[in-house]
Amino acid sequence: QVQLVESGGGVVQPGGSLRLSCAASGFTFSSYGMYWVRQAPGKGLEWVTFIRFDGSNKYYADSVKGRFTISRDNSKNTLYLQMNSLRAEDTALYYCAKDFGGKAPVQIDIWGQGTMVTVSS
Amino acid sequence: DIQMTQSPSSLFASVGDRVTITCRATQSISSYLNWYQQKPGKAPKLLIYAASSLQSGVPSRFSGSGSGTDFTLTISSLQPDDFATYYCQQSYSTPLTFGGGTKVEIK
């Protein structure tokens, strides 16, 4: 079955770095656009970033631009999020998600269960 | 950036009620509007895409309508499994944006 499994979350100090991974299975990963979406504790959903099926185009929320980098390894069916210069306001559950299509964001049809990132001293 | 405003932010309803949630965009987004349902401790789930298309496997009591700036999610007869938080999201342009959510609670 279609599955997205995130890993790499944890507790990190302000200014630190973390890399999240998302292992995809059950579909042709290399054909679909992928997202990271986050949700702060008790808050709503916030789009973070999107990457095209081939990795050629990437889009970021202003709140993470210049600090976070999305990438993918289609040979390993894995999505990544490199997070640098972390701030307290980055504390959230980070969801990996799959788009219906491949080239531009359309709709998120599959979500992972999320990995928690806590930025605290 | 396109801002998405949902109303109400919460509502109380009974099983069998007809429930309507609205979502308004700060500029026209054509039909690039999706609706998601999220239950506590769970990932969101796609209900409606392109404003009015029902995602596969979603019960037909859910429907969506609207275009331009004003959109509606309707649950025709609320079921116990429908108590959750609902989010709209525009995919017209980046940055993609979600509404603040509508929590549907038991009356």
pLDDT tens sequence across A112-121: 999 999 999 9
| Among A2, A16, A17, CA closest to A97 | A2
Whether the CB-CB separation of A116 and A61 falls below 8 Å is answered with no
In chain A, residues 53-112 whose CB comes closer than 8 Å to chain B? 59-62, 95, 100, 105-109, 111-112
| pLDDT less than 50: residues of chain B | none
> b/e string for A84-120 if b means 16 or more Cβ within 10 A?
eebeeebbbbbbbbbbbeeeebbbbbbbbebbebbbe
Question: In chain B, which residues touch A (CB < 8 A)?
Answer: 1, 34, 36, 38, 43-46, 49-50, 55, 87, 89, 91, 94-101
Q: Give residue B76's pLDDT.
A: 97
Give the mean model confidence (pLDDT) for residues A56-82. 98
Measuring CA to CA, how many Å separate B79 from each of A30, A79, A111, B46, B75? 38, 36, 23, 17, 9
What does the mean pLDDT of chain A come to?
97
Residue A103: pLDDT over 90: no
| Among B89, B84, B91, B98, CA closest to B19 | B84
- Closest CB to A62: pick one of B36, B95, B100: B95
Question: Residue A102: which pLDDT band, with cuts at 50, 70 and 90?
Answer: confident
Residues of chain A found within 8 Å of residue B55, distances taken between Cβ atoms: 109
Chain B interface includes A113 (CB < 8 A): yes
Question: Does B95 sit within 8 Å of A95, measured CB to CB?
Answer: no
Whether the CB-CB separation of A97 and A47 falls below 8 Å is answered with no
Residues of chain A found within 8 Å of residue B101, distances taken between Cβ atoms: 44-45
Distance of CA A100 to the CA centre of its chain: 16
Residue in B with minimal Cα distance to A63: B95
Residues of chain A found within 8 Å of residue B46, distances taken between Cβ atoms: 107-109
Q: Give residue B59's pLDDT.
A: 98
Distance from CA of B16 to the nearest CA of A (A): 27
HEC per residue, A58-71: EEECCCCCCCEEEE
Enumerate residues 6+ apart whose C-beta is below 8 A from B106: B12, B13, B14, B83
Question: Does A50 sit within 8 Å of B44, measured CB to CB?
Answer: no
Give the mean model confidence (pLDDT) for residues A77-99. 98
3-state DSSP percent of chain B in helix, strand and coil, to 5:
5, 50, 50
* Per-residue pLDDT tens digits for A11-68: 999 999 999 999 999 999 999 999 999 999 999 999 999 999 999 999 999 999 999 9
Amino acid, res. B77: S
Residue A9: pLDDT over 90: yes
Whether the CB-CB separation of A61 and A48 falls below 8 Å is answered with yes
Cis peptide before B95, with omega less than 30 degrees from 0? yes
**Which residue(s) pair with B74 in the sheet?**
B20, B63
